[in-house]
C-alpha cells in the first residue's frame, strides 16, 4: 500500500486565536510550530507511511516542512480547507497513492502507535476515522483508496464523514485514542496539556503554566 499523509497548516502567526485570553501572539506561534513539528516527526517515523505532503499558504510552515523532509504544496490565498485537501489528494494520486491519511497539524501527543493503529484498521473501500474528545471534529481520516467521500471538515465533521461513508455503502472503522483526541483549541485544553507535560515525556513542547493559572484565577 502506498499511503501518503496530508497535513494542512494554517498560517502559524494566526494559529490558535481562541487561546488569546491566556497566551500572547508569540506564545501561540511557538505552540503551533512545536505541535506542527511534532506531527511531522511522528508521521515521518512510521515506515508504512510512504511520504508526507504539507499544504499551507504560510511560507514559513512550508519551509519547516521541507526542512523536515516533507513535500509541500502552496495553498491559494483564498483557499478553504476542504478544497485545499481535495487538491492535495489529487496531487498524491499522481504519485500513485492508493490511500491517504489526513492529519491536523495541532496534535501535540499523537505518537507512532496511533498512526500504525490507523493503518492496521484500513482495508479496501473503507474509511478509518478518529474524532476529538467530543466526537465533533475529525482528528484523523484515512481513506483507501483516496476520494471515497468528499472532505467535509468544520464543526460536526466527525459524524458527517461517517454518514457520508455509510451512505455510499463503505466500511467505517472507528479508532479511539486519547492522544489523537487531544487537540489544543481553547484555554481549558491547555489545562490538560500542562498536566501531561508535567509527566515529563514531552520536553520538546512549550509550557505556559503561569498564564493558564492566572486565567483560571480570574475566572473564579
Residue in the structure block whose three cell numbers are 495553498: 75
Distances (CA, A) of 103 to 27, 120, 206: 23, 16, 21
Dist CA 77 CA 62 (whole Å):
14
| Structural domains counted in the chain | 1
Query: For residue 213, what pLDDT is reported?
Result: 45
Residue 179's CATH number: 3.90.550.10
Of 3-17, 50-64, 148-162, 186-200, the range with the lowest mean pLDDT is 186-200
Dist CA 173 CA 212 (whole Å):
36
Query: Does residue 216 lie in a domain region?
Result: no
Q: And the C-alpha cell for 85?
A: 485537501
Q: And the C-alpha cell for 126?
A: 473503507
Query: Does residue 199 lie in a domain region?
Result: no
Query: For residue 121, what pLDDT is reported?
Result: 96
For 181-214, what is each residue's pLDDT tens digit?
Answer: 998 888 888 888 888 888 776 777 888 865 544 5
Mean pLDDT of 116-132: 95
Q: What's the whole-number average pLDDT of the chain?
A: 91
Query: For residue 191, what pLDDT is reported?
Result: 83
Query: Does residue 23 lie in a domain region?
Result: yes
Of the chain, the percentage scoring pLDDT greater than 90 comes to: 73
Query: Does residue 190 lie in a domain region?
Result: no
Which among 58, 77, 54 has a CA at the least distance from the CA of 10?
58
Q: And the C-alpha cell for 59?
A: 511560507
Query: For residue 218, what pLDDT is reported?
Result: 44
Alpha helices, H only, the chain? 25-44, 59-67, 81-94, 112-121, 157-167, 178-181, 187-197, 209-219
For 36-70, what is each residue's pLDDT tens digit?
Answer: 999 999 999 999 999 999 999 999 999 999 999 99
Dist CA 211 CA 191 (whole Å):
11
Which among 181, 90, 84 has a CA at the least distance from the CA of 130?
181
Q: Who has greater pLDDT, 201 or 131?
A: 131
Query: Does residue 194 lie in a domain region?
Result: no
Query: Does residue 129 lie in a domain region?
Result: yes
Q: What pTM does this model have? A: 0.91
Residue 5: exposed, middle, or buried by beta-carbon count in 10 A (0-12, 13-18, 19+)? buried
> By residue range, what is the domain housing residue 47?
3-185
Dist CA 206 CA 112 (whole Å):
21
SS3 percent helix, strand, coil of the chain, rounded to 5, is 45, 15, 40
Residue 111: pLDDT over 90: yes
Distances (CA, A) of 38 to 7, 8, 84, 102, 121: 12, 14, 22, 15, 23
Amino acid at each position: 500500500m502506498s499511503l501518503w499523509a496530508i497535513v494542512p497548516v494554517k498560517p502559524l502567526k494566526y494559529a490558535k486565536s481562541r487561546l488569546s485570553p491566556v497566551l500572547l501572539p508569540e506564545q501561540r506561534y511557538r505552540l503551533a510550530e512545536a505541535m506542527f513539528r511534532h506531527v511531522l516527526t511522528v508521521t515521518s517515523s512510521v515506515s508504512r507511511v510512504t511520504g508526507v505532503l504539507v499544504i499551507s499558504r504560510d511560507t514559513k510552515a512550508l519551509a519547516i516542512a521541507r526542512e523536515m523532509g516533507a513535500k509541500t504544496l502552496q495553498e491559494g490565498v483564498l483557499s478553504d480547507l476542504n478544497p485545499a485537501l481535495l487538491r492535495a489528494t489529487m496531487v498524491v494520486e499522481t504519485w500513485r497513492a492508493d490511500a491517504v491519511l489526513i492529519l491536523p497539524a495541532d496534535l501535540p501527543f499523537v505518537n507512532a502507535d496511533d498512526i500504525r493503529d490507523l493503518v492496521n484498521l484500513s482495508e479496501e473501500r473503507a474509511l478509518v476515522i478518529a474524532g476529538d474528545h467530543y466526537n465533533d471534529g475529525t482528528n484523523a481520516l484515512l481513506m483507501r483508496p483516496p476520494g471515497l467521500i468528499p472532505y467535509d471538515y468544520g464543526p460536526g465533521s466527525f459524524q458527517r464523514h461517517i454518514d457520508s461513508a455509510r451512505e455510499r455503502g463503505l466500511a467505517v472503522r472507528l479508532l479511539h485514542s486519547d492522544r489523537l483526541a487531544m487537540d489544543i483549541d481553547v484555554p481549558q485544553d491547555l489545562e490538560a496539556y500542562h498536566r501531561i507535560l508535567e509527566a515529563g515525556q514531552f520536553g520538546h513542547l512549550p509550557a505556559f503554566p503561569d498564564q493558564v493559572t492566572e486565567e483560571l484565577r480570574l475566572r473564579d
